[in-house]
Amino acid sequence: MHDDDHEDDHDEHNPVDEHSALHLELHRAVDELGKYAIEIEFDPKGGIPKEKMKQFIDDLMRTVTMNCMNNGADLVGHVKSFLLVDDGNIMSSIVDEHKPTKIKDAVESDVIYKSKFVLHVIVHGIWDDKIRNLTLEVLPGVCKKWNMPYNIIADYFDVEKSIAHHT
């Protein structure tokens, strides 16, 4: 397969402009999903056992999800994360707050040192800015609880376009 370069999101010659607004009208009707993405670096001093790291990820994702659900969201769209380390990754997903977080562990070693973590939160019923606030509100507390030093590398709130916000 070819390279996986990120496409430029600027689309100056979008041919959809030439077409009927009917399709877009429906899209607007379902445009009730908010989302937020953040990339964080975790650097636990001396490393952290992998199993403990998975518990931390579970706690973080679940806390963010429940904070959204307790503050206006009425449906989890998809809360998903990807933790990248030198020898693998851990993928996690929540689509229903009443069910356990699905975690796929593909890390070889038993101890995790520095890692990069992407969290993507999509819920129905509240908007992007509120999801961002609700995420950042609980992040310090969960990290403190697990003694996990963190550094926010990228906050995608300012650069992401909303899911189906057609103008």
Positions in the binding site for other proteins (CB under 8 A): 1-4, 6-16, 19-20, 22-27, 29-33, 35, 37, 39, 74-78, 80-82, 84, 89, 91, 93, 95-96, 99, 106, 118, 120, 122, 124-125, 154, 156, 159-161, 163-164, 166
DSSP classification of residue 15 = G
- Terminus-to-terminus CA distance in the chain, angstroms? 35
Of 45 and 99, the one with the shorter C-beta distance to other proteins is 99
What are the residue ranges of helices labelled H in the chain?
22-29, 50-69, 128-145
Of 29 and 45, the one with the shorter C-beta distance to other proteins is 29
Minimum separation from the CB atom of position 35 to other proteins (A): 6
Of 113 and 156, the one with the shorter C-beta distance to other proteins is 156
| 139-157 burial: b if 16+ Cβ within 10 Å, else e | beebbeebebebeeeebbb
Minimum separation from the CB atom of position 75 to other proteins (A): 4
Minimum separation from the CB atom of position 142 to other proteins (A): 19
CB 74 within 8 A of CB 65: no
CA of 11: how far to CAs of 8, 14, 31, in Å?
8, 6, 21
Of 151 and 159, the one with the shorter C-beta distance to other proteins is 159
User: What residues form DSSP beta bridges with 150?
Assistant: 42
Of 104 and 145, the one with the shorter C-beta distance to other proteins is 104
- H or E segment and range at residue 152: strand 150-155
Minimum separation from the CB atom of position 45 to other proteins (A): 26
Minimum separation from the CB atom of position 102 to other proteins (A): 9
